[in-house]
Chain A
């Protein structure tokens, strides 16, 4: 048993931390969020130069031979900066799927663009009716000669406005919620028949409703087979959970630090408000929520490569924890900041909003408690 980080991982953390400090302070972040595009291509290019985009991939694939723990370290630090650039969808979700399940030809065609920072990817899996059930797929993929034709709509696809490529779940056979018959397809966003409705999300990110109308893809757009699509997808979503758990640690830590600092300096009734015991206990509870989230985040990221049942139990257990803790920490941080906590001027509210979205992302507490129980 070992909960310590390797020297490389510590160096990685320090590097990302100082990059975020130097290039992604709150004002820079808000400038990026409010810009036309809503992300910075320049920052993305620097991610590539720093090796962040290559970090989790094996050396054979051109990567730096890291894994979930490296992703965890990176995501935690990106969380501290509330970084909006699409590391999660591009590297963790899509890159992860390609590296674990794509054919050598698919990897060769697609991974260099991810590692080099040339391409942004989005995972289009949820649908207007699917809520948190990844198997609830109405988007269809009809075999057509050697290829497929896709039809359907994907909902709230994170980072899709920026993406060049999509991985799309589509039903090759079976009924709406069958677990078999789902395929994952690599689709160019510029392909004929793909259209998007782009919008900002409440946490300062961007997403799209993506519609596929008779989109023709070749047979080698399919990753794995029709019978493995869902399990590949679920595994990717669990990796996503590991990553956003880490991201949320960055948020909670920032909020707890900011709140303690604020309560030490803000004076009312002639004393720092931090001297009121009721606020002290609230901050102690925030601290304990954070610590428990740290434990679960480490645990899930160490279990991502284990057997399916264990992975599911760990990721749902962790997601329940960060859903609850993130909500508590975010809400109380706002409360303890009083009126200041309600404004967009402080970063506090922005962490709170991102934590709110994370609670829903990849399934909320109720969903994962149920999955936890059945895993």
Chain B
């Protein structure tokens, strides 16, 4: 047992910090600090990801032969932790961490050559078409139809909750290609160009009240959409294997870096806000709430270190661990957002529509207040998406406890 990092790891940490200092420029910092939903403008995301790409760090998860960063597991942890701690933009996951590994594993050589370089260089924006109005937690019940028409599939149906579909050039979809046998057996994995005739996107407005074109989620409709046969990834009717692989590949991310950063922000807000003539941070009720969360985030960090160091010893983090990290991490995200809102008191009420366009100084009553309540509303999503926390607990019950 040893909590210390090796000299190489420490040097790597310094390199990451130096990169962040240079590449995380004030324009992008501002957007990150003012985002209601964790996304920033399309241009800012692409600018940031191209900077990562130039450094060779765009794809920490990818194997080196495809242009991956070649991090050791510990380096990957350090990298993600530092990025989170700095509040740097999240890499849009749909291309880089979702569809790319599937293409690498199941795609043809042509598909790899066609799609992977553009994903790595952030030239093409992807979105994820899994959920449907009738199929959320129960994904395998999905109904979007793709009929074999010889040289193409004819697609009809709809995907919902599709994050950032308004910016997307491509969507990867789970589609139904057969109604025979087990439900999972008739599903295929299909890549669809968003510019194909018959594809349309309608925004869904979330509680945080996004400004125009900044909505997080959308419904995507497919009406007689012709998709070339070569866009099928893997075998026909074996898309579920791809889907499951994608989930396995996405091995729980560390949350503690981001949580610590947000708590640091709460602490600094509470040092400025006045309560009964003193700083709020000196109010014993408030400071106890803050300490309570800081303690829980420390627990989170210790758990993450323990779990991820096991991975570096060559073990798999496994479904139980990733479900636990997701459940606890998102619960803490919700709690921290709640405390941030409590901290600003009455100035959590004014609503600003376009927080990316406005500035801290133009906020009503208190600089930086505008995104705080919207974030509280928005992070309700974290226990719903990527497998709801109820589903995660079901997984632990089944996979770990054997119930």
Contacts from A to B (Cβ < 8 Å): 126, 128-129, 131-133, 136, 155-156, 176-177, 197, 199-203, 207, 209, 267-270, 273, 276, 278-279, 327, 331, 334-335, 338-339, 341-345, 349, 352-353, 356-357, 360, 364, 366, 369-370
Q: Are A132 and B373 in contact (CB under 8 A)?
A: no
List the A side residues contacting B285 at CB < 8 Å.
Answer: 366, 369-370
Q: Cα distance A246–B213 when bound, in Å?
A: 38
Q: Cα distance A92–B154 when bound, in Å?
A: 62
List the A side residues contacting B377 at CB < 8 Å.
Answer: 202, 349, 352-353, 356
User: A353 is contacted by which of B207, B352, B393 (Cβ under 8 Å)?
Assistant: B207
- Say whether, besides A136-B277, A199-B351, A269 and B205 are in contact (CB < 8 Å): no
- Say whether, besides A156-B365, A344-B206, A366-B285, A268 and B390 are in contact (CB < 8 Å): no
Q: How many residues of B contact A (CB 8 A)?
A: 52
The answer, yes or no, to whether B274 is at the interface (CB within 8 Å) is: yes
- Say whether, besides A177-B276, A339-B160, A202 and B349 are in contact (CB < 8 Å): yes
Q: Cα distance A268–B132 when bound, in Å?
A: 12
The answer, yes or no, to whether B275 is at the interface (CB within 8 Å) is: yes
Q: B135's closest neighbor in chain A, by CB? A: A268
Which of B207, B350, B374 has most A Cβ within 10 Å?
A: B207
Q: Cα distance A342–B136 when bound, in Å?
A: 14
List the B side residues contacting A278 at CB < 8 Å.
Answer: 390, 393
Q: Are B137 and A338 in contact (CB under 8 A)?
A: yes
- Say whether, besides A278-B393, A342-B206, A356-B376, A156 and B350 are in contact (CB < 8 Å): yes
The answer, yes or no, to whether B138 is at the interface (CB within 8 Å) is: yes
List the B side residues contacting A267 at CB < 8 Å.
Answer: 134
Q: Are B393 and A344 in contact (CB under 8 A)?
A: no
Q: B280's closest neighbor in chain A, by CB? A: A131
Q: Cα distance A197–B362 when bound, in Å?
A: 12
Q: Are A177 and B277 in contact (CB under 8 A)?
A: yes
The 7 closest A-B pairs by CB, nearest first: A268-B138, A366-B285, A349-B207, A344-B205, A201-B349, A156-B346, A129-B274
Q: B276's closest neighbor in chain A, by CB? A: A133
The answer, yes or no, to whether B209 is at the interface (CB within 8 Å) is: yes
Q: Are B365 and A128 in contact (CB under 8 A)?
A: yes
Q: Cα distance A199–B346 when bound, in Å?
A: 14
Other than the given A342-B217, A342-B380, 6 more pairs (CB < 8 A) read: A269-B137, A331-B380, A338-B137, A339-B136, A342-B207, A356-B341
User: B384 is contacted by which of A176, A335, A370 (Cβ under 8 Å)?
Assistant: A335
Q: Cα distance A197–B338 when bound, in Å?
A: 27
Q: B338's closest neighbor in chain A, by CB? A: A327
Q: Cα distance A344–B160 when bound, in Å?
A: 15
Q: Are A357 and B364 in contact (CB under 8 A)?
A: no
| Closest beta carbon of chain A to B365's beta carbon, Å | 6
Q: Are B345 and A364 in contact (CB under 8 A)?
A: yes
The answer, yes or no, to whether B312 is at the interface (CB within 8 Å) is: no
Q: A352's closest neighbor in chain B, by CB? A: B207
Q: Are B345 and A339 in contact (CB under 8 A)?
A: no
The answer, yes or no, to whether B286 is at the interface (CB within 8 Å) is: yes
Q: Cα distance A327–B351 when bound, in Å?
A: 19
User: A343 is contacted by which of B205, B280, B364 (Cβ under 8 Å)?
Assistant: B205
CB within 8 Å: A-B pair count: 134
The answer, yes or no, to whether B306 is at the interface (CB within 8 Å) is: no
Q: Cα distance A369–B346 when bound, in Å?
A: 18
- Say whether, besides A343-B204, A345-B205, A349-B207, A334 and B346 are in contact (CB < 8 Å): no
Q: Are B383 and A335 in contact (CB under 8 A)?
A: yes
Q: Are A202 and B365 in contact (CB under 8 A)?
A: no
| Dominant secondary structure at the B interface | mixed
User: B346 is contacted by which of A155, A268, A343 (Cβ under 8 Å)?
Assistant: A155
The answer, yes or no, to whether B348 is at the interface (CB within 8 Å) is: yes
- Say whether, besides A269-B137, A338-B137, A156 and B131 are in contact (CB < 8 Å): no
Q: Cα distance A273–B134 when bound, in Å?
A: 12
| Closest beta carbon of chain A to B375's beta carbon, Å | 11
Q: Are A156 and B161 in contact (CB under 8 A)?
A: no
Q: Cα distance A331–B364 when bound, in Å?
A: 26
Interface residues of B in 121-143 (CB under 8 A from A): 131, 134-138, 141
Q: B161's closest neighbor in chain A, by CB? A: A339
The answer, yes or no, to whether B388 is at the interface (CB within 8 Å) is: yes
List the A side residues contacting B350 at CB < 8 Å.
Answer: 156, 199-202, 207
Q: A156's closest neighbor in chain B, by CB? A: B346
User: A176 is contacted by which of B160, B277, B383 (Cβ under 8 Å)?
Assistant: B277
The answer, yes or no, to whether B381 is at the interface (CB within 8 Å) is: yes
List the B side residues contacting A356 at CB < 8 Å.
Answer: 341, 373, 376-377
List the A side residues contacting B275 at CB < 8 Å.
Answer: 131-133
The answer, yes or no, to whether B221 is at the interface (CB within 8 Å) is: no
Q: B206's closest neighbor in chain A, by CB? A: A342
Can you list 25 A-B pairs, Cβ within 8 angstroms, ordered by A? A131-B275, A131-B345, A132-B275, A133-B275, A155-B346, A156-B346, A201-B349, A201-B350, A202-B377, A207-B350, A338-B136, A339-B136, A339-B385, A341-B380, A342-B380, A342-B381, A342-B384, A344-B207, A349-B207, A349-B377, A352-B377, A356-B373, A357-B349, A366-B283, A369-B285
| Closest beta carbon of chain B to A240's beta carbon, Å | 14
List the B side residues contacting A343 at CB < 8 Å.
Answer: 204-207, 217
List the A side residues contacting B141 at CB < 8 Å.
Answer: 268-270
Which of B289, B334, B351, B377 has most A Cβ within 10 Å?
A: B351
- Say whether, besides A131-B273, A331-B380, A201 and B393 are in contact (CB < 8 Å): no
List the B side residues contacting A131 at CB < 8 Å.
Answer: 273-276, 280, 345-346
Q: Cα distance A79–B283 when bound, in Å?
A: 33
Q: B283's closest neighbor in chain A, by CB? A: A366
Q: Cα distance A237–B160 when bound, in Å?
A: 44
List the A side residues contacting B138 at CB < 8 Å.
Answer: 268-270
Which of B135, B366, B384 has most A Cβ within 10 Å?
A: B384
Q: Cα distance A207–B276 when bound, in Å?
A: 23
The answer, yes or no, to whether B106 is at the interface (CB within 8 Å) is: no
| Closest beta carbon of chain A to B371's beta carbon, Å | 11
| Closest beta carbon of chain B to A184's beta carbon, Å | 19
List the B side residues contacting A279 at CB < 8 Å.
Answer: 390
| Closest beta carbon of chain B to A161's beta carbon, Å | 12
Q: A366's closest neighbor in chain B, by CB? A: B285
Interface residues of B in 245-297 (CB under 8 A from A): 273-277, 280, 283, 285-286, 289
Q: Cα distance A136–B275 when bound, in Å?
A: 9
| Closest beta carbon of chain B to A330's beta carbon, Å | 9
Q: Cα distance A323–B204 when bound, in Å?
A: 29
Q: B390's closest neighbor in chain A, by CB? A: A278
The answer, yes or no, to whether B342 is at the interface (CB within 8 Å) is: yes
The answer, yes or no, to whether B71 is at the interface (CB within 8 Å) is: no
- Say whether, besides A131-B276, A156-B347, A369-B285, A268 and B205 are in contact (CB < 8 Å): no
List the A side residues contacting B137 at CB < 8 Å.
Answer: 268-269, 273, 338
Which of A209, A338, A345 has most B Cβ within 10 Å?
A: A338
